[in-house]
Amino acid sequence: MTSEMYSERRKALSKALDNHSTVLLFSGTAPHKSEDVDYTYTPNRNFYYLTGITRPNMILMLTKQGESVTETLFIEEANPVLEKWIGRRMTVAEAKAVSGINSVYFLDSFEAQLGRHLARKRCDAVYLDLGRASWQQPLSKAHEFAAELTRKHPYLQIRNVHRELANLRLIKSEEEINNIRKAIDITRQGIENLLANAKPGMMEYELEAYYDFPLKLNGVKEPGFTSIIASGQNGVILHYEENDQQTKDGDLVLLDLGAQYKYYSADISRTFPVNGKFTERQKQIYNIVLNAEEELIAAVKPGVTWKQLNDLAKRLLADGLKSLGLIQDDAEISRYYYHSVGHQLGLNVHDVTTLDENDPLQPGMVITIEPGLYIEEESIGIRIEDDVLVTENGQENLSKHILKTVEDIEAFMAKASK
Ligand code: GLY
Ligand code: MN
Ligand code: MN
């Protein structure tokens, strides 16, 4: 990605802002884990989207006064003593080169500069990233800053910039699509290594280790989300993450995995028999999910809505189960299929979106398609998930190279076990 691209994104965001306003985005800090250990730092995705910078404690400030938009970045100052412990900090020159922002200052001047701006210029509103994925989520730096701003400047309107950025992030550029392709290809390597080494009796975490190895070889420090390796009965738990049970001969194993590349995530589900051979019953159910998945992918095109895709998924899966006599009418499908068929994909695995269920998909969107069937009484949990780009005329399955048919999975595992 070039600095011009980040510059273009900041311009696009500025157009969506009210006049006489300021945007403040924080790159964030590593959350505390325990005692003096923190979780691995991951950049605030909106800050990263607008700057390309992946370092903690930085602040982006954009001010809009009529046609004039000023961009300022505040970064940590080098500290020779601290650097002996935690390594080099980003320099001003590096921050300029990555982001394309020419006004770069140290953090200790942030309050003075913001204070001066608010004192001298007309500023009616401050936009912060106040996105919250759930009510329980801890308060971010932006939430705390909103409270401080309101206390010091009670006339200021506090706005949430999350929605404007979600809107921009919905349509992926060529570079972003290539990052997702790369994340998918690393995920493919991990899945193939897992399948090539799988044997009944292995622990789920042993399978995970085979998946993790190619990721590490590719420089992926951590996946885009917690890996799901769910054998047998665990496959019916949608977000099973313990991965600590022993697989048994005859088990299916449901994998839901995604490497990330430059913080763009893949999101792939595959289901395979740990002994390398599907039973007739497993094959029957598997092929219902597979046929539904392929039909759903073929239905993806500009103009189609999530409501239509969700309805189609339920109908296809219900038709399949009716043909087996497992259910009698369509409404009973909720017993065996209980999630939606997909979501946007990008810098977050469940990527930010402003789409309602009746809004049309558009070219440049990347989504997942992931029908599944979960038959608890038979210890069968099957989900098949691919990552799909909406194109001008239809769609491209970005993960089509990952093993998927019964025949291909069995042949691959048979060959690998020789
Ligand atoms: N990996 C979570 C999901 O498929 O939505
Ligand atoms: Mn998934
Ligand atoms: Mn998904």
| Cα-based distances in Å from 194 to 201, 215, 235, 401 | 14, 12, 17, 16
Longest dimension (CA), the chain: 75
Token output for 65: 């006064």
Q: How many angstroms separate the alpha carbon of residue 208 from the centre of ligand 2?
A: 15
Evaluate: CB of 349 within 6 angstroms of ligand 1: yes
Residue 162 appears among annotated catalytic residues: no
Closest C-alpha to 406, from 270, 228, 292, 267: 270
| Probe residue for ligand 1, chosen from 187, 191, 211, 225 as the CB with the greatest number of ligand atoms within 8 Å | 225
Residue 374 appears among annotated catalytic residues: yes
| Cα-based distances in Å from 189 to 69, 241, 291 | 45, 21, 24
Which residue, 138, 169, 200, sits at the end of a domain?
Answer: 169
| Cα-based distances in Å from 208 to 134, 231, 239, 249 | 29, 12, 15, 18
Let me know whether 115 and 17 are in one domain: yes
Closest C-alpha to 172, from 15, 9, 359, 340: 9
pLDDT at 138: 87
Q: What is the dihedral of CA 184, 185, 187, 192, to 10 degrees?
A: 140
Closest C-alpha to 149, from 118, 121, 122: 118
Tell me how many degrees the CA angle 44-241-216 measures, rounded to the nearest 5.
60
The structural domain count of the chain equals 2
Looking at residue 71, which CATH number applies to its domain? Answer: 3.40.350.10
Phi, psi of 335 (to 5 degrees): -70, -30
Evaluate: CB of 386 within 6 angstroms of ligand 1: no
Q: Which of 116, 239, 281, 401 is catalytic?
A: 239
Q: How many angstroms separate the alpha carbon of residue 267 from the centre of ligand 1?
A: 6
Evaluate: CB of 240 within 6 angstroms of ligand 1: no
Q: Could you identify the atom of ligand 1 that is nearest to the CA of residue 350? A: 5
- From atom 5 of ligand 1, which residue's Cα is the shortest distance away? 350
Residue 370 appears among annotated catalytic residues: yes
Evaluate: CB of 347 within 6 angstroms of ligand 1: no
Which residue, 119, 136, 169, sits at the end of a domain?
Answer: 169
Which residue, 120, 135, 169, sits at the end of a domain?
Answer: 169
Nearest-ligand number for the alpha carbon of 368:
3
Domain boundaries, position 240: 171-417
Q: Which of 350, 378, 396, 410 is catalytic?
A: 350
Q: How many angstroms separate the alpha carbon of residue 180 from the centre of ligand 2?
A: 14
Let me know whether 83 and 230 are in one domain: no
Let me know whether 350 and 212 are in one domain: yes
Let me know whether 76 and 123 are in one domain: yes
pLDDT at 118: 95
Cβ atoms of 401 and 188 within 8 Å: the answer is yes
Which residues, including other chains, have CB under 8 Å from residue 216's CB and lie 6 or more apart?
Answer: none
Q: How many angstroms separate the alpha carbon of residue 316 from the centre of ligand 3?
A: 19
Let me know whether 158 and 202 are in one domain: no
Q: Which of 49, 343, 351, 386 is catalytic?
A: 343
Evaluate: CB of 341 within 6 angstroms of ligand 1: no
Residue 36 appears among annotated catalytic residues: yes
Let me know whether 221 and 117 are in one domain: no
User: Which residues fall inside 5 Å of ion ligand 2, going by CB?
Assistant: 256, 267, 385
Let me know whether 147 and 277 are in one domain: no
Let me know whether 133 and 229 are in one domain: no
Token output for 211: 């998946």
Let me know whether 16 and 143 are in one domain: yes
Q: How many angstroms separate the alpha carbon of residue 144 from the centre of ligand 3?
A: 31
Cβ atoms of 340 and 324 within 8 Å: the answer is no
Let me know whether 262 and 330 are in one domain: yes
Let me know whether 342 and 232 are in one domain: yes
Cα 274 to Cα 198: distance, rounded to the nearest angstrom: 6
Token output for 380: 């069968």
Tell me the sheet residues that pair with 284: none
Closest C-alpha to 109, from 82, 74, 60, 141: 74
Let me know whether 52 and 196 are in one domain: no
pTM (global) more than 0.85: yes
Note down pLDDT in tens along the chain; length 418 residues. 789 999 999 999 999 999 999 999 999 999 999 999 999 999 999 999 999 999 999 999 999 998 899 999 999 998 888 888 888 889 999 999 999 999 999 999 999 999 999 999 999 999 999 998 899 988 999 999 999 999 999 999 999 999 999 999 999 999 999 999 999 999 999 999 999 999 999 999 999 999 999 999 999 999 999 999 999 999 999 999 999 999 999 999 999 999 999 999 999 999 999 999 999 999 999 999 999 999 999 999 999 999 999 999 999 999 999 999 999 999 999 999 999 999 999 999 999 999 999 999 999 999 999 999 999 999 999 999 999 999 999 999 999 999 999 999 999 999 999 8
- From atom 3 of ligand 1, which residue's Cα is the shortest distance away? 267
Looking at residue 204, which CATH number applies to its domain? Answer: 3.90.230.10
